[in-house]
């Protein structure tokens, strides 16, 4: 096939062209319908409706260009169903709709990585501004947009940070299946996320948005058109999350191989279950609240406008009903990766399997009952505060299960300090600080001071960056050799780990003090007495950024230039994905495996997952 032929098909290039076309169609179409702006609460720079319709048109064009309409249209025209899209080899399949779960996993890895990088650059810009309280590097509005982009990018994109790359790639393999339950929906979740990322990034062409990642009304009602990008971004992320969660649950419930009972499931898959439940139930609330905000901004409803009979509390409540489960959507996959990797590198079975599962599910359940601690000083019903204090602190009990199971797995092990193991051990350190600082925030009296300050900001960076991003890297170092077939450089990995660990703590620990000293979040300036602290943090943050470049260099250097082939099982793991060749072949298994135990039988003398591809096993579906 010539290059020209390849570029003409349904692929990313076509998608971008059609996306831009769809954008302009929506833009002019909306102007034709409503003409000038109908905005009478906020500013009148833009016709809000046209911004919404433009981006919706753009998303539809983008998805059509990738080929998402081919299957439904073929079915509407009466053609018989074909189960999978055309199989392709080579680099092209990464730039189009591909229903191979392994391709989607790798697409996620790079796609999420790209936006993680953009979000990280925003963090560097924030710290540049905060080098001095006096001179403005950025205008105040630009600064708020940078803050909002950083927060929204990280909180939106990284919800799929572990489930996207690792669960999509590994869950079907770990449960002995050849695909996800809904492969086309699986591809859709990824491309929706990419469309969303593009929408959020282009907010800069519409004046940005001033609200940070929480998007509180009524500030969002008076914001310029860039706010619409925020709404569309998060709503698309919500749709993507819901679909991802449904897909994961359906796959894990229905497609487990023979013998894989619930008590033999790898703990990572249990982590995916507990996260997917939250995604399915929480993300629709986000979509709902953003739809209401979109109506407030376009159709001039007044859900959140006090003067029109609405209430800003409605927004805050709905947002945090989503928002608190959301932070556990970020944290739980991290717990699961730690518990999955510790047995491998401690050479011991996972200790207290049932307690670990109870911990994951317990956090998942309790996370629904804590959201009003985000409203402790907002003037919510005062009687409720003791309850939310209690429920918030109760979460530390199931979280403690994870700590206990992890620590007892290390107990009397033969611990090997590989790069993924170092990242897992760092999780204990980071999450301990994150969790204990959370006690100050959950305690309503103490929260009076820490609420909305840099203290809470340091707290959630310890739990989310310390909990999610560290385990994300653990997963990368552990599974990327399996996914790509190439080894990552271990020495660079260790340099990456130690610089990241040191500068992460050097960046965020002083922020607890800044918060206690009275520095509110999201400020463009601060008392000059806090300059030393802020400069220390900024310089540490730049070094933290450089440590990420070490990782990026390692990734590109190892995968594109050195290309040292990875062994099938470089870690001596008993998990099933490491009994397969690296990279995993297209159909995963020649014959479906039969499971006779969980993958943690270290020291028990059994052969590693002896049930893999036994003679006479059922040929399986698909």
Partner 1 sequence: MSAAAPAGSVATPNHGRRVVIAWLLLSAVATPLVAIYVGPLFPPGNATVQSQGQVFDNQVMTALMTPVICLLAVFFAYGLVKFRAEKNEALLDGPPLRNDAKVQLLWVVITSTMVLFLAGFGTYELLKDGSGGGQGPNPIAFPANHQSAFQVQVIGQQWEFTYRYPSLGLESNQLVLPANTDVEFHVTSLDVIHSFWAVELGVKADANPGVDNVTYVQTKSPTTFHVRCAELCGLWHGYMFNNGEVVSASQFTAWAASAEKIYASIKPYVNRDAPYGLTYLPDPQRRAG
Site for partner 1 in 406-445 (CB under 8 A): 407-408, 410-417, 425, 428, 432, 436, 439-440, 442-445
Q: Which stretch binds partner 1 (CB under 8 A): 58-66, 112-120, 344-352, 531-539?
A: 344-352
Write down the H helix ranges in 67-182: 70-76, 101-129, 140-157, 168-174
Q: Candidates 5-13, 109-117, 496-504, 524-532: pick the segment binding partner 1 (CB under 8 A).
A: 524-532
Instruction: State the number of CA atoms in the 13 A half-sphere of 160 facing the CB.
Output: 41
Residue 509 lies near partner 1 (rule: CB under 8 A):
no
Q: Which is nearer to partner 1, 437 or 547 (CB)?
A: 437
For residue 106, give the nearest of 486, 431, 614, 536 by alpha carbon: 486
CB of 465: closest distance to partner 1 in angstroms?
Answer: 20
- Under rule CB under 8 A, residue 522 binds partner 1: yes
Q: Residue 268 or residue 376: which is nearer to partner 1 going by CB? A: 376
- In the bound complex, what is the minimum distance in angstroms from residue 102's beta carbon to partner 1? 27
Q: Which is nearer to partner 1, 160 or 437 (CB)?
A: 437
Distance CA 415, CA 322 (A): 39
Q: Which two tokens stand for residue 430?
A: 């980071």
Q: Is 390 in the site for partner 1 (CB under 8 A)?
A: yes
Q: Which of 249, 523, 559, 568 binds partner 1 (CB under 8 A)?
A: 523
Question: Please, are residues 336 and 161 in contact by the beta-carbon 8 Å criterion?
Answer: no
Dmax over Cα atoms in the chain, in whole Å?
75
Cis peptide before 583 (omega within 30 of 0): yes
Number of residues in the chain: 622
Nearer to partner 1 (CB atom), residue 220 or residue 540: 220
Helix (H) / strand (E) element for 425: namely helix 419-442
Q: Which is nearer to partner 1, 42 or 61 (CB)?
A: 42
Q: Is 137 in the site for partner 1 (CB under 8 A)?
A: no
CB atoms within 10 A of CB 82: 11
Strand, helix or coil for residue 520: strand
Stated as kind and residue range, the H or E segment containing 20 is: helix 12-34
* Binding test (CB under 8 A) with partner 1, winner from 7, 140, 546, 586: 140
Residues near 340 by beta carbon (within 8 Å), at least 6 away in sequence: 266, 267, 268, 271, 575
Minimum distance from residue 435 beta carbon to partner 1 (Å)? 9
Q: How far is the CB of 94 from partner 1 (least distance, A)?
A: 35
Q: Pick the binder of partner 1 from 264, 494, 521, 591 (CB under 8 A).
A: 521
- Segment 163-222, which members bind partner 1 (CB under 8 A)? 210-212, 214, 216, 218-219, 222
Q: Closer to partner 1 by CB, 444 or 559: give it.
A: 444
Per CB under 8 A, 35 contacts partner 1: no
Residues 547-606 that bind partner 1 (CB under 8 A): 572, 601-604
User: How far apart (Å, rounded) are the C-alpha atoms in residues 430 and 473?
Assistant: 14
Closest CA to 279 of 116, 159, 154, 152: 159
What is the nearest approach in angstroms of partner 1 to the Cβ of residue 436? 5
Helix axes 419-442, 490-516, angle to 10 degrees: 10
Q: Which of 318, 124, 127 is nearest to 215 (CA)?
A: 318
- Residue closer to partner 1 by CB (options 504, 589) is 504
From the list 518, 581, 585, 614, which residue makes contact with partner 1 (rule: CB under 8 A)?
518
User: Would you say the C-alpha torsion 610, 615, 620, 622 has a positive or negative sign?
Assistant: positive
Interacting residues of 279 by C-beta distance below 8 A, sequence separation 6+: 159, 163, 241, 242, 244, 245, 248, 329
Q: Which of 133, 129, 42, 4 is nearest to 532 (CA)?
A: 133
| Nearest distance from C-beta of residue 607 to partner 1, angstroms | 13
Residue from the set 32, 381, 560, 607 that interacts with partner 1 by CB under 8 A: 381
Distance CA 442, CA 386 (A): 10
Three-state DSSP class for 622?
coil
Min CB(43)–partner 1 separation in Å: 12
Q: How far is the CB of 221 from partner 1 (least distance, A)?
A: 8
- State which of residues 302, 396, 489, 597 lies at the interface with partner 1 (CB under 8 A): 396
Note whether 174 and 595 are within 8 A (CB): no
Q: How far is the CB of 93 from partner 1 (least distance, A)?
A: 36
Nearest 10 degrees: CA dihedral of 191, 192, 198, 202? Answer: 160
SS3 163: helix
The b/e string for 44-55 (b: 16+ C-beta within 10 A; e otherwise) is eebbbbbbbbbb
Q: Which residues pair with 520 in a beta bridge?
A: 453
Subset of residues 448 to 507 that bind partner 1, contact rule: CB under 8 A: 448-449, 451-453
Nearer to partner 1, 376 or 503 (CB): 376
Q: Near partner 1 by CB under 8 A, which window of 119-127, 225-233, 322-330, 380-388?
A: 380-388
For partner 1, the binding residues in 345-374 under the rule CB under 8 A are 346-353, 355
Return all residues near 41 (Cβ < 8 A) that are at least 6 apart: 221, 222, 296, 300, 305
Helix (H, G, I), strand (E, B) or coil at 134: coil
Shortest Å, Cβ 249 to partner 1: 28
Nearest approach in angstroms of CB 276 to partner 1 is: 26
SS3 44: coil
Number of residues that bind partner 1 (CB under 8 A): 87
Closest CB to partner 1 among residues 118, 380: 380
Q: In the structure encoding, which two tokens stand for residue 521, read together?
A: 């979040």
Question: Which two structure tokens, joined as six digits, stand for 146?
Answer: 């940078």
- In angstroms, give the least distance from the CB of 536 to partner 1: 19
Interacting residue with partner 1 among 131, 517, 543, 610 (CB under 8 A): 517
Give the footprint of partner 1 on residues 73-132 (CB under 8 A): none
Nearest to partner 1 of 314, 495 (CB atom): 314
- Binders of partner 1 in range 305-324 (CB under 8 A): 306-307, 312-313
Per rule CB under 8 A, is residue 400 in the interface with partner 1? yes
Q: Least distance (Å) from partner 1 to the CB of residue 108?
A: 31
Binding to partner 1 (CB under 8 A): which residues in 217-276? 218-219, 222
């Amino acid at each position: 096939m010539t290059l020209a032929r390849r570029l003409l098909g349904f692929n990313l290039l076509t998608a971008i062209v059609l996306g831009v076309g769809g954008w302009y169609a929506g833009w002019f179409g909306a102007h034709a319908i409503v003409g000038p702006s109908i905005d009478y609460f906020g500013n009148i720079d833009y016709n809000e409706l046209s911004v919404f319709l433009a981006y919706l048109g753009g998303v539809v064009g983008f998805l059509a260009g990738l080929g998402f309409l081919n299957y439904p249209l073929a079915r509407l025209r009466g053609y018989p169903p074909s189960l999978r899209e055309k199989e392709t080899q080579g680099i092209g399949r990464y730039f189009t709709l591909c229903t191979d779960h392994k391709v989607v996993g790798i697409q996620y890895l790079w796609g999420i990585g790209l936006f993680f990088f953009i979000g990280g650059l925003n963090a560097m810009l924030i710290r540049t501004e905060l080098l001095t309280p006096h001179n403005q590097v950025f205008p105040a509005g630009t600064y708020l947009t940078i803050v909002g982009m950083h927060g929204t990018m990280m909180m939106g994109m990284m919800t799929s940070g572990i489930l996207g790359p690792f669960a999509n790639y590994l869950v079907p393999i770990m449960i002995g299946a050849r695909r996800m339950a809904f492969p086309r929906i699986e591809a859709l979740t990824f491309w929706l996320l990419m469309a969303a990322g593009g929408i959020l990034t282009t907010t800069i062409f519409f004046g940005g948005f001033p609200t940070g990642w929480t998007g509180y009304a009524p500030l969002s009602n008076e914001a310029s058109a860039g706010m619409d990008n925020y709404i569309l971004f998060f709503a698309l992320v919500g749709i993507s999350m819901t679909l991802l969660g449904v897909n994961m649950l359906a796959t894990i419930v229905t497609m487990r191989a023979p013998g894989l009972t619930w008590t033999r499931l790898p703990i990572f898959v249990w982590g995916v279950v507990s996260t997917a439940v939250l995604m399915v139930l929480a993300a629709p609330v986000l979509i709902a609240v953003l739809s209401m905000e979109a109506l407030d901004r376009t159709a001039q409803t007044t859900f959140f406008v006090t003067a029109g009979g609405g209430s800003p509390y409605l927004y805050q409540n709905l947002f945090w009903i989503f928002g608190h489960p959301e932070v556990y959507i970020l944290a739980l996959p991290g717990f699961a990766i730690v518990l999955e990797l510790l047995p491998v590198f401690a050479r011991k079975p996972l200790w207290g399997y049932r307690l670990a599962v109870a911990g994951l599910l317990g956090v998942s359940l309790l996370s629904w009952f804590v959201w009003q601690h985000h409203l402790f000083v907002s003037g919510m019903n005062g009687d409720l505060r003791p309850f939310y204090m209690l429920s918030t602190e109760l979460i530390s009990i199931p979280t403690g299960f994870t700590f206990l199971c992890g620590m007892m797995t290390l107990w009397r092990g033969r611990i090997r300090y590989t790069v993924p193991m170092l990242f897992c051990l760092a999780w204990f350190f980071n999450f301990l600080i994150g969790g204990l600082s959370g006690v100050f925030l959950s305690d309503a009296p103490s929260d009076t001071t820490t609420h909305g300050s840099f203290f809470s900001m340091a707290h959630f960076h310890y739990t989310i960056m310390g909990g999610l991003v560290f385990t994300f890297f653990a997963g990368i170092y552990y599974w990327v050799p399996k996914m790509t077939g190439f080894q990552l450089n271990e020495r660079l990995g260790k340099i990456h780990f130690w610089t990241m660990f040191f500068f992460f703590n050097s960046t965020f620990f002083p922020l607890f003090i800044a918060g206690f000293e009275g520095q509110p979040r999201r400020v463009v300036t601060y008392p000059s007495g806090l300059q030393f602290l802020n400069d220390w943090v900024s310089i540490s943050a730049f070094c933290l950024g450089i440590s990420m470049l070490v990782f990026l260099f390692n990734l590109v250097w190892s995968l594109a230039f050195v290309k040292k082939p990875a062994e099938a099982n470089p870690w001596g793991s008993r998990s099933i994905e490491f009994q397969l060749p690296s990279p995993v072949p297209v159909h995963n298994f020649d014959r479906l495996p039969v499971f006779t135990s969980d993958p943690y039988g270290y020291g028990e003398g059994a052969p590693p997952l002896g049930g893999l591809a036994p003679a006479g096993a059922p040929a399986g579906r698909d």
